[in-house]
Amino acid sequence: MSTTGLLALVTQPALRDELDRVGAAAGVRVIHLGVTVPSRKAWAAAAAVVLDEAAAARCSPARLPRRAHVIVLTDAQPTPAGWQAAVAVGAQRVLTLPADGNELVAELAEAAEGVRDGARRGEAVAVIGARGGAGASLLATALAQNAGDALLIDLDIWGGGIDLLAGTENVAGLRWGDLTRQSGRLTWPALRAALPRHRGVSVLSGPRNGDQAHEIEAGAVDAVVDAGRRGGITVICDLPRALTDPVETALSAADLVVMVSPCDVRACSAGAALAPRLRATNPNVGLVVRGPAPGGLRAAEVAEIIGLPLLATLRAETRLIEQLEHAGLRLPRRSALAAAAARVLQVLPGRKAPAA
């Protein structure tokens, strides 16, 4: 039996009884929460989450992270409002009981099997610049290199290609153009084998060498991020500042959103405008401030103006910029960028806090 269990927010007695029966058949312990909206941690840790239409409507404003095995149950044909609530909460299935009982058993059995495998669910970080040229792609690449086994996802198809930073521009493998119509469930081992990989980082980027660019679809983003997280690795998403559906999908799925801001007045103004939009999608947002500070602003002042907690500061590294003109990013252990990346990763729930 799964020790994590199934979170259930189902108040109708007939649906509760049927869910208990199906949970027993699938070998999943059902934890009934009544009308209480679960915390983000409990939502992410459960083997599966089952809601009725009313619970889906209650949970959607909480902007809980996107995850697999979210199911909405009904005892009749779903209403239009029920469908809207299911989409808003990120449900993959809307099932009617008892007619769809066998499908629910299969879905819960798959969820329980994933928990029994003992695999740690990976964490996701989304990185975005306060303004253009802030250094978000650089920090995203550093985070991926510091995370160990990682997946680095480039969502800015017009940004020049993060594979130039990651050192995979000449490595064969899948790019976004090969996945633009992909949605649903992907397996991490298959995705890892297909993607370009360098220094322990698998990279999914846009086209290279004049190939046609393809718009990224939200379903493909959700499928790729979910595959990496189910594979137990750290997923790093490098985001453009345009909050399109694919970008919103990555923001919703992230355990942590990191804004990168230069230490200047223009970046402060741009960051202060962007921060409320980010928090509306995901409340777990922090700030990394990058030097130099031409006007003498301090990192704490930048954080106060933008209105986000300061996660790390990053001083300018002239030699690093020169290196990037000739090769991909390779971080010395004592570099300021490596230190900043390590501090950001320590914020994630599964990481140990730095020693005092």
Residue 322's pLDDT is 65
Residue 128's pLDDT is 97
1 confidence band (pLDDT: 50, 70, 90): very low
3 confidence band (pLDDT: 50, 70, 90): very low
Residue 208's pLDDT is 64
Q: How far apart are the first and last CA of the chain?
A: 40
Where in the chain is CATH 3.40.50.2300? 6-116
Tens digits of per-residue pLDDT, 136-186?
A: 999 999 999 999 889 999 998 777 778 888 888 888 888 888 775 555 567
Q: How many CB atoms lie within 10 A of CB 145?
A: 25
Q: How many CB atoms lie within 10 A of CB 213?
A: 13
Alpha carbon distance 253, 220 (integer Å): 13
Q: Which of 49-63, 201-215, 256-270 has the highest mean pLDDT?
A: 256-270
User: Is residue 52 classed as helix, strand or coil in its secondary structure?
Assistant: strand
Q: What is the pTM of this model?
A: 0.68
Residue 211's pLDDT is 59
Average pLDDT value for the chain? 85
Where in the chain is CATH 3.40.50.300? 124-345
Q: How many CB atoms lie within 10 A of CB 158?
A: 9
- Which residues make beta-bridge pairs with 31? 7
**H-helix segments, the chain:** 13-26, 40-45, 53-59, 80-89, 101-116, 136-146, 163-166, 188-194, 218-230, 245-253, 265-281, 299-306, 318-324, 336-345
Tens digits of per-residue pLDDT, 72-122?
A: 999 888 888 888 888 888 888 899 988 888 888 888 877 776 654 445 678
Nearest to 3 by CA among 109, 123, 108, 112: 112
User: Given this structure, which CATH class describes domain 6-116?
Assistant: alpha beta
Residue 343's pLDDT is 93
Which superfamily does CATH assign the domain made up of 124-345 to? P-loop containing nucleotide triphosphate hydrolases (3.40.50.300)
Alpha carbon distance 58, 87 (integer Å): 13
Alpha carbon distance 91, 70 (integer Å): 5
Residue 117's pLDDT is 47
- Preceding amide of 294 cis, omega within 30: no
What whole-number percentage of the chain has pLDDT above 70? Answer: 87
> C-alpha angle 68/341/316, rounded to 5°?
140
